[in-house]
Amino acid sequence: MNSRKSQILLNEAKRDAEIGNFNKAASALYFCVRKELECVLLKLGLKIPRRDDKLANTLKHLGYPEESQKLLRLYELRKKADYSDESVSAIEVNEAMGIVETILEALRSIQFSA
């Protein structure tokens, strides 16, 4: 990973998931990917959009439409974790972990092809 902060957030998310803090884990997973994507965009000389949907669109425009949709899914889970009366479930966090791995793999391929 490019971002030290991204790695810290991923590690925190894993620890939080292990002890049942699923809301915290979901939020950290989203921000892990966000930070890593921001690092990639900066390396490519691109602006970082403020809005989360616009940030996801950058993945789409870089040739990763599926990962773009998956980032939006992480964003939805983060909103649920941070703002909803409902809590994120263990199943959702496991789903999010898989999504994070997929997106991070795509971001690695962008870095190495740039």
CATH code of the domain covering residue 86: 1.20.120.330
What is the rounded CA–CA span in Å between residue 46 and residue 59?
Answer: 12
Range(s) of the domain holding residue 77: 4-113
Each residue's pLDDT tens digit, 44-72: 999 999 999 999 999 999 999 999 999 99
Number of domains forming the structure of the chain: 1
| Integer Cα distance of 47 and 40 in angstroms | 10
pLDDT in tens, 75-113: 999 999 999 999 999 999 999 999 999 999 999 998 776
Q: What is the pLDDT of residue 3?
A: 77
Contact 71, 61 (CB under 8 A): no
